[in-house]
């Protein structure tokens, strides 16, 4: 995972993105609005909402970036109006309902960073009836791509430099979605609209899109490129299309083929993309004309890294506390509303110094249990 310092300056450096949000926020946010900045990072979108007249913003982020947001608000003198919450949006209960939800969760392909699930949950639990959301609509586009640079990402585990015991990971590689910056020349078919997602409506847990792509010339079809046009509000659209000068320059999604296919000008290629609302599960299939090769189906399900425990977990048996669960129960039983975290740590170090093998590991364990399960 990128360090928040390099990650978030990257978002600010995307050409035109800041201005597009500014324009849409000024159209959507009204004076006095209360806003939830979902996945706020260092707090950029929330500050833009305050500048547009919002009275208060709740900024929620589950990464270390929230600490940078908090310090930013201190330095900007905004701590009375921008409230930082260090948590996942799914586990956050706000003290009041908000007028506006805002996020930049559009990933590479619109739905692949989990915006559908996150907005649905936040809309249901945090938004006032009739509230507004940014973005509120996604339009998805797709094209066949020919690109050695993209292909090499999917073939990385086949390289000579990879020691033999790891070559099996090649099976995962073709079932993985990559971020890649395509040029217009990389698109070997016409691009087509493959679907729309209305983030204000409940669209279900599974999306299914179909399209027919037509080859522009003779080419090696390496896979599919997918991108978004996101309606931020007030008629302002934000895209990462490789064909648009107004693109914010964010990479597109690359969905590779297991085996590249040689296509001829005018060939029609059937394409299906199915995706879960959490953005993690994406399945794509590509059907070239029969004489060019067989249909191919790929899915991120086939590249999910699951532990043995994940695979054997059964939901129809009684649950028992694991060792870790027992330890957490012991630590949390010491939380009585009176003791400070430092006092609880001291008690554990006296009573059970070897809870985690060494005092250092025990101390860090107590701190992590208290950090995720208590509030000051």
- Return residues touching ligand SAM (CB under 6 A): 8, 11, 39-41, 44-45, 60-63, 65, 88-90, 104, 118
Cβ at position 242, least distance to ligand SAM in Å:
20
**Spatial separation of the C-alpha atoms in residues 177 and 108, rounded to whole Å:** 10
Cβ at position 33, least distance to ligand SAM in Å:
17
Cβ at position 21, least distance to ligand SAM in Å:
7
Cβ at position 329, least distance to ligand SAM in Å:
26
With CB atoms as reference, the residue minimizing the distance to ligand SAM is: 39
- Angle at CA of residue 106, ends 103 and 112, nearest 5°: 130
Three-class SS of residue 248? coil
Which of 8/141 has CB closer to ligand SAM? 8
Beta-bridge mates of residue 221: 261
Which of 54/269 has CB closer to ligand SAM? 54
Classify the phi-psi angles of 287: left when phi > 0, otherwise alpha if psi is within -120 to 50, otherwise beta. beta
Cβ at position 160, least distance to ligand SAM in Å:
36
From residue 254, give the alpha-carbon distance in Å to each of 8, 147, 168, 173, 219: 23, 10, 21, 12, 17
Which of 248/355 has CB closer to ligand SAM? 248
Q: Count of H helices and E strands in the chain?
A: 11, 15
| Cβ(101)–Cβ(131) below 8 Å | yes
Which of 63/139 has CB closer to ligand SAM? 63
Cβ at position 233, least distance to ligand SAM in Å:
15
Which of 90/301 has CB closer to ligand SAM? 90
How many alpha carbons fall within 13 Å on the CB side of residue 160? 0
CB atoms within 10 A of CB 202: 11
Which of 126/143 has CB closer to ligand SAM? 126
| Cβ(273)–Cβ(226) below 8 Å | yes
List, in sequence order, the alpha helices (H) in 54-157. Answer: 65-76, 115-126, 148-154
Cβ at position 61, least distance to ligand SAM in Å:
4
CB atoms within 10 A of CB 354: 10
Which of 121/170 has CB closer to ligand SAM? 121
CB atoms within 10 A of CB 86: 17
């Amino acid at each position: 995972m990128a360090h928040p310092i390099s990650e978030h300056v990257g978002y600010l450096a995307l050409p035109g993105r800041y201005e597009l949000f500014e324009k849409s926020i000024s159209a959507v946010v009204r004076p006095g609005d209360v806003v939830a900045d979902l996945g706020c990072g260092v707090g950029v979108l929330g500050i833009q909402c305050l500048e547009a007249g919002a009275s208060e913003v709740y900024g929620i982020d589950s990464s270390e970036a929230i600490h940078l947001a908090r310090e930013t608000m201190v330095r900007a003198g905004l701590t009375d109006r921008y409230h930082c919450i260090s948590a996942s949006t799914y586990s956050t209960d706000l003290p009041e309902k908000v007028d506006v939800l805002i996020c930049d969760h559009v990933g590479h392909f619109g739905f692949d960073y989990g915006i559908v699930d996150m907005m649905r949950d936040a809309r249901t639990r945090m938004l006032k009836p009739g509230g507004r959301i940014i973005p509120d609509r996604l339009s998805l586009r797709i094209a066949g791509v020919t690109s050695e640079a993209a292909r090499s990402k999917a073939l990385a585990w086949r390289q000579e430099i990879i020691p033999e015991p790891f070559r099996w990971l090649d099976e995962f590689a073709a079932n993985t979605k990559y971020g890649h910056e395509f040029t217009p020349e990389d698109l070997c078919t016409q691009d087509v609209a493959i679907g729309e997602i209305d983030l204000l409506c409940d669209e279900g847990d599974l999306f299914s899109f179909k399209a027919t792509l037509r080859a522009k010339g003779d080419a090696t079809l390496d896979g599919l490129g997918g991108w978004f046009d996101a309606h931020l509000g007030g008629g302002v659209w934000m895209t990462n299309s490789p064909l648009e000068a107004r693109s914010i320059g964010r990479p597109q999604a690359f969905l590779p083929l297991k085996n590249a296919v040689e296509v001829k000008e005018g060939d029609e290629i059937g394409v299906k993309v199915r995706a879960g609302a959490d953005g993690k599960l994406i399945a794509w299939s590509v059907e070239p004309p029969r004489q060019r090769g067989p249909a191919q189906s790929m899915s991120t399900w086939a590249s999910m890294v699951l532990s043995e425990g994940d695979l054997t977990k059964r939901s129809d048996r009684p649950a028992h506390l694991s060792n870790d669960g027992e330890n957490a129960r012991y630590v949390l039983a010491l939380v009585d509303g009176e003791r400070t975290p430092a006092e609880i740590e001291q008690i554990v170090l006296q009573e059970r110094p070897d809870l985690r093998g060494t005092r250092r590991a025990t101390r860090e364990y107590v701190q992590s249990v208290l950090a995720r399960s208590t509030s000051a």
